[in-house]
Amino acid sequence: MTLYGYFRSSTSYRTRIAMNLKGLDYNDITINLAQDEQLESAFKAINPQGLVPVLQADDLLLYQSPAILEWLEEVYPEHALLPKDAAGRMQVRALSAMIGCDIHPINNRRILQYLRNELSVNEEDVIAWCNRWISEGFAALETRLAADNNRGQFCYGNSPTLADCYLIPQVSSARRFKVDLSAYPNIVAIDTHCRTLEAFADADPMMQPDAPKSL
Protein backbone atom coordinates (compact mmCIF):
# COMPACT_ATOMS: atom_id res chain seq x y z
CA MET A 1 0.00 0.00 0.00
CA THR A 2 1.03 3.60 -0.60
CA LEU A 3 -0.07 6.55 1.49
CA TYR A 4 -0.11 9.97 -0.12
CA GLY A 5 0.07 12.45 2.74
CA TYR A 6 1.83 15.31 4.46
CA PHE A 7 3.68 15.20 7.77
CA ARG A 8 1.52 17.83 9.53
CA SER A 9 -1.81 16.94 7.97
CA SER A 10 -4.08 15.80 10.82
CA THR A 11 -6.00 13.51 8.50
CA SER A 12 -2.78 11.89 7.29
CA TYR A 13 -1.64 11.63 10.91
CA ARG A 14 -4.80 9.79 12.01
CA THR A 15 -4.47 7.41 9.08
CA ARG A 16 -0.84 6.64 9.96
CA ILE A 17 -1.87 5.86 13.54
CA ALA A 18 -4.57 3.43 12.44
CA MET A 19 -2.27 1.66 10.00
CA ASN A 20 0.46 1.40 12.64
CA LEU A 21 -1.96 0.02 15.22
CA LYS A 22 -2.93 -2.67 12.72
CA GLY A 23 0.70 -3.45 11.95
CA LEU A 24 0.40 -2.61 8.27
CA ASP A 25 3.36 -1.77 6.06
CA TYR A 26 3.03 1.05 3.56
CA ASN A 27 5.09 3.37 1.42
CA ASP A 28 4.98 7.14 1.87
CA ILE A 29 4.59 9.65 -0.93
CA THR A 30 4.74 13.25 0.25
CA ILE A 31 2.31 15.79 -1.12
CA ASN A 32 3.75 19.08 0.09
CA LEU A 33 0.79 21.21 1.14
CA ALA A 34 3.05 24.14 1.94
CA GLN A 35 4.00 24.24 -1.74
CA ASP A 36 0.42 23.52 -2.94
CA GLU A 37 1.40 20.25 -4.58
CA GLN A 38 -2.11 19.00 -3.81
CA LEU A 39 -3.42 21.45 -6.43
CA GLU A 40 -1.18 20.21 -9.22
CA SER A 41 -2.69 18.20 -12.04
CA ALA A 42 -0.64 15.09 -11.25
CA PHE A 43 -2.18 14.76 -7.80
CA LYS A 44 -5.64 15.91 -8.88
CA ALA A 45 -5.62 13.00 -11.30
CA ILE A 46 -5.41 10.82 -8.17
CA ASN A 47 -7.84 12.84 -6.05
CA PRO A 48 -9.89 15.54 -7.82
CA GLN A 49 -10.56 17.19 -4.46
CA GLY A 50 -6.86 17.89 -4.07
CA LEU A 51 -6.85 16.62 -0.51
CA VAL A 52 -4.70 14.23 1.49
CA PRO A 53 -4.58 11.50 2.51
CA VAL A 54 -5.09 9.09 -0.33
CA LEU A 55 -4.38 5.42 0.22
CA GLN A 56 -3.56 3.23 -2.76
CA ALA A 57 -4.06 -0.48 -2.22
CA ASP A 58 -3.18 -2.30 -5.43
CA ASP A 59 -5.53 -0.76 -8.03
CA LEU A 60 -7.88 0.70 -5.43
CA LEU A 61 -7.65 4.39 -4.54
CA LEU A 62 -9.19 5.37 -1.22
CA TYR A 63 -9.81 8.93 -0.13
CA GLN A 64 -11.42 10.78 2.79
CA SER A 65 -9.81 9.60 6.02
CA PRO A 66 -13.06 8.50 7.75
CA ALA A 67 -13.78 6.18 4.83
CA ILE A 68 -10.16 4.99 4.74
CA LEU A 69 -10.22 4.15 8.44
CA GLU A 70 -13.51 2.27 8.11
CA TRP A 71 -12.11 0.36 5.10
CA LEU A 72 -9.01 -0.58 7.07
CA GLU A 73 -11.21 -1.86 9.88
CA GLU A 74 -13.24 -4.01 7.50
CA VAL A 75 -10.36 -5.38 5.43
CA TYR A 76 -7.86 -5.75 8.30
CA PRO A 77 -9.99 -6.66 11.33
CA GLU A 78 -7.03 -7.79 13.44
CA HIS A 79 -6.24 -5.30 16.21
CA ALA A 80 -9.78 -3.99 15.96
CA LEU A 81 -10.29 -0.26 16.37
CA LEU A 82 -14.04 -0.56 16.88
CA PRO A 83 -15.75 -2.39 19.77
CA LYS A 84 -17.62 -5.64 19.13
CA ASP A 85 -21.00 -4.35 20.31
CA ALA A 86 -23.19 -1.94 18.37
CA ALA A 87 -23.51 0.52 21.26
CA GLY A 88 -19.75 0.63 21.68
CA ARG A 89 -19.18 1.16 17.97
CA MET A 90 -21.70 3.99 18.02
CA GLN A 91 -19.89 5.62 20.94
CA VAL A 92 -16.48 5.42 19.27
CA ARG A 93 -17.87 6.74 15.98
CA ALA A 94 -19.60 9.59 17.81
CA LEU A 95 -16.41 10.60 19.62
CA SER A 96 -14.53 10.42 16.32
CA ALA A 97 -17.14 12.56 14.59
CA MET A 98 -16.98 15.21 17.32
CA ILE A 99 -13.39 15.74 16.21
CA GLY A 100 -13.50 14.80 12.54
CA CYS A 101 -16.74 16.65 11.71
CA ASP A 102 -17.03 19.47 14.23
CA ILE A 103 -13.49 20.53 15.21
CA HIS A 104 -10.96 19.70 12.52
CA PRO A 105 -12.76 20.90 9.34
CA ILE A 106 -13.13 24.52 10.46
CA ASN A 107 -9.49 24.72 11.50
CA ASN A 108 -7.84 22.97 8.58
CA ARG A 109 -5.38 24.58 6.21
CA ARG A 110 -7.87 25.47 3.48
CA ILE A 111 -10.05 27.41 5.90
CA LEU A 112 -7.14 29.20 7.53
CA GLN A 113 -5.61 30.11 4.18
CA TYR A 114 -8.94 31.59 3.10
CA LEU A 115 -9.11 33.64 6.28
CA ARG A 116 -5.56 34.89 5.75
CA ASN A 117 -5.46 35.40 2.00
CA GLU A 118 -9.03 36.17 0.94
CA LEU A 119 -10.48 37.87 4.01
CA SER A 120 -7.20 39.49 5.15
CA VAL A 121 -7.60 38.24 8.70
CA ASN A 122 -4.46 38.91 10.73
CA GLU A 123 -2.54 36.05 12.32
CA GLU A 124 -3.63 36.93 15.86
CA ASP A 125 -7.26 36.62 14.85
CA VAL A 126 -6.60 33.40 12.95
CA ILE A 127 -5.17 31.92 16.15
CA ALA A 128 -8.19 33.22 18.06
CA TRP A 129 -10.47 31.50 15.52
CA CYS A 130 -8.68 28.20 16.04
CA ASN A 131 -8.75 28.58 19.80
CA ARG A 132 -12.49 29.27 19.81
CA TRP A 133 -13.54 26.18 17.87
CA ILE A 134 -11.00 23.76 19.30
CA SER A 135 -11.80 24.86 22.85
CA GLU A 136 -15.54 24.58 22.29
CA GLY A 137 -15.17 21.12 20.81
CA PHE A 138 -12.76 19.95 23.48
CA ALA A 139 -15.09 21.16 26.26
CA ALA A 140 -17.87 18.92 24.95
CA LEU A 141 -15.50 16.02 24.36
CA GLU A 142 -14.03 16.36 27.86
CA THR A 143 -17.53 16.15 29.33
CA ARG A 144 -18.23 12.96 27.39
CA LEU A 145 -14.97 11.37 28.47
CA ALA A 146 -15.44 12.31 32.12
CA ALA A 147 -18.92 10.77 32.16
CA ASP A 148 -17.71 7.34 31.00
CA ASN A 149 -16.99 5.44 34.21
CA ASN A 150 -15.92 2.32 32.30
CA ARG A 151 -13.23 4.06 30.30
CA GLY A 152 -9.60 3.10 30.80
CA GLN A 153 -6.63 5.11 29.51
CA PHE A 154 -8.12 5.66 26.07
CA CYS A 155 -11.15 7.45 24.67
CA TYR A 156 -13.20 4.27 25.03
CA GLY A 157 -12.52 1.08 26.93
CA ASN A 158 -9.06 -0.30 27.60
CA SER A 159 -7.53 -0.36 24.14
CA PRO A 160 -7.02 2.20 21.37
CA THR A 161 -9.91 2.84 19.00
CA LEU A 162 -10.63 5.06 16.04
CA ALA A 163 -11.48 7.81 18.52
CA ASP A 164 -7.86 7.90 19.72
CA CYS A 165 -6.68 8.02 16.10
CA TYR A 166 -8.73 11.21 15.75
CA LEU A 167 -7.91 12.73 19.12
CA ILE A 168 -4.11 12.66 19.21
CA PRO A 169 -3.62 14.65 15.97
CA GLN A 170 -6.18 17.17 17.16
CA VAL A 171 -4.29 17.65 20.43
CA SER A 172 -1.13 18.27 18.41
CA SER A 173 -3.02 20.87 16.41
CA ALA A 174 -4.37 22.44 19.60
CA ARG A 175 -0.86 22.85 20.94
CA ARG A 176 0.30 24.36 17.67
CA PHE A 177 -2.49 26.93 17.91
CA LYS A 178 -1.66 27.69 21.55
CA VAL A 179 -4.86 26.30 23.07
CA ASP A 180 -4.78 26.16 26.86
CA LEU A 181 -5.35 22.46 27.59
CA SER A 182 -5.48 22.75 31.37
CA ALA A 183 -9.30 22.60 31.34
CA TYR A 184 -9.25 19.18 29.66
CA PRO A 185 -7.46 16.75 32.02
CA ASN A 186 -8.97 13.61 30.50
CA ILE A 187 -7.96 14.63 26.99
CA VAL A 188 -4.43 15.44 28.17
CA ALA A 189 -4.17 12.12 30.04
CA ILE A 190 -5.27 10.13 26.99
CA ASP A 191 -2.82 12.02 24.80
CA THR A 192 0.03 11.45 27.26
CA HIS A 193 -0.67 7.72 27.46
CA CYS A 194 -1.11 7.22 23.72
CA ARG A 195 2.20 8.90 22.99
CA THR A 196 3.97 6.20 25.01
CA LEU A 197 2.80 3.61 22.47
CA GLU A 198 4.98 2.89 19.45
CA ALA A 199 2.14 3.08 16.93
CA PHE A 200 1.35 6.65 17.97
CA ALA A 201 4.97 7.73 18.42
CA ASP A 202 5.96 6.49 14.96
CA ALA A 203 3.01 8.35 13.41
CA ASP A 204 4.00 11.67 14.97
CA PRO A 205 4.49 14.42 12.37
CA MET A 206 8.08 15.08 13.37
CA MET A 207 8.95 11.42 12.83
CA GLN A 208 7.94 11.53 9.16
CA PRO A 209 10.49 11.64 6.34
CA ASP A 210 9.08 14.91 4.99
CA ALA A 211 9.20 16.69 8.37
CA PRO A 212 11.65 19.60 8.54
CA LYS A 213 14.50 19.25 10.99
CA SER A 214 13.14 22.22 12.93
CA LEU A 215 9.94 24.26 12.91
Question: CA-to-CA distance for 114 and 152, rounded, in angstroms?
Answer: 40
Which residue range(s) make up the domain with 34? 2-79
Residue 60 clears pLDDT 80, i.e. is over it: yes
For residue 113, the SS3 value is helix
Residue where a domain stops, chosen among 20, 53, 79:
79
Task: Find out whether 133 and 111 touch, Cβ atoms under 8 Å.
Answer: no
**Res. 81 pLDDT band, cuts 50 70 90:** very high
List pLDDT tens digits, range 121-135: 999 999 999 999 999
For residue 99, the SS3 value is helix
Q: What is the CATH number of the domain that holds 64?
A: 3.40.30.10
In 3D space, the residue among 177, 197, 211, 180 whose CA is nearest the CA of residue 104 turns out to be 177
**Res. 214 pLDDT band, cuts 50 70 90:** low
Stated pTM of the model: 0.96
Arithmetic mean of pLDDT, 139-147: 98
Q: What is the CATH number of the domain that holds 124?
A: 1.20.1050.10
* DSSP 8-state secondary structure symbol assigned to residue 79: S
Residue where a domain stops, chosen among 36, 58, 79:
79
Task: Starting at the earlier edge strand, list the strands of the sheet with 27-30.
Answer: 27-30, 2-5, 54-57, 60-63
Task: Flag whether 65 is in a domain.
Answer: yes
Residues 94 and 169 in one domain: yes
% pLDDT > 90, the chain: 98
Residues 90 and 188 in one domain: yes
Arithmetic mean of pLDDT, 101-107: 97
Residues 47 and 103 in one domain: no
Residue 215 clears pLDDT 60, i.e. is over it: no
Residue where a domain stops, chosen among 49, 79, 109:
79
* Amino acid sitting at position 176: R
Task: Flag whether 21 is in a domain.
Answer: yes
Residues 44 and 104 in one domain: no
Residues 66 and 90 in one domain: no
In 3D space, the residue among 173, 193, 159 whose CA is nearest the CA of residue 81 turns out to be 159
Q: What beta strand segments (E) does 45-110 contain?
A: 54-57, 60-63
At 213 the pLDDT is 74
Task: Flag whether 103 is in a domain.
Answer: yes
In 3D space, the residue among 176, 200, 174 whose CA is nearest the CA of residue 188 turns out to be 174
Arithmetic mean of pLDDT, 191-212: 97
Integer angstrom CA distances of residue 151 from 54, 130, 157? 32, 28, 5
